[in-house]
Amino acid sequence: MIFLTNVFGLASSLKNKHHQTQKQNRMKKLFITALAAVTIAASSFATPGADVSKVSLKVLNKFKAEFATVDQVDWEVKKDYIKAKFTEDGLEQEAFFTQDGELIGTSKRIERADMPSVPRKALNKVVAGGELLELIEFNSTEKGIAYYASIQKDGVKQILEISASGFVSNYKK
């Protein structure tokens, strides 16, 4: 009787160990699959040479959700934000994120003719007699669209901020 109990106990013990080994193998496979998915997701929209390892998964996921068609991204991690530089529909753009993955806004270079009439008229008045060097449209998730114009007038370079309502302020000299 003791022999049978030991045999059944051994069989039961072997069965439990086999079950534990199978469970551990499944967990290892699941972990490896998850790790591979994260690696593929991170590299699928990274420019060669870009340090994606410093970009959080929250930011990567938010970027992919917002810009699903983009596959080449140059990442730059700063103290206060993370910048993604990319091309979408043939247009170079930048997206700015918080460290927590929230989209701050996007920016792109535009031509004066691409501006709505109210801010364009305000810009034309300020630039008169000077030269427009660069024009950026920044679309903030909190404040909406603003334009930043780099101008040179009377030998002085400055950056102006033009609101969608046409208000012009000196952003930087």
In the chain, domain spans: 43-172
In the CATH hierarchy, which fold is given to the domain comprising 43-172?
Nuclear Transport Factor 2; Chain: A, (3.10.450)
- Amino acid at site 116: P
**pLDDT per residue over 63-119, tens digit each?**
999 999 998 999 999 999 999 999 998 999 999 999 999 999 999 999 999 999 999
Q: How many CB atoms lie within 10 A of CB 159?
A: 15
Give the residues across from 152 on adjacent strands.
Answer: 131, 157
Model confidence, pTM: 0.68
With vertex at residue 64, the alpha carbon angle to CA 40 and CA 67, rounded to the nearest 5 degrees, is 135
**pLDDT per residue over 3-27, tens digit each?**
444 444 444 554 555 555 554 544 3
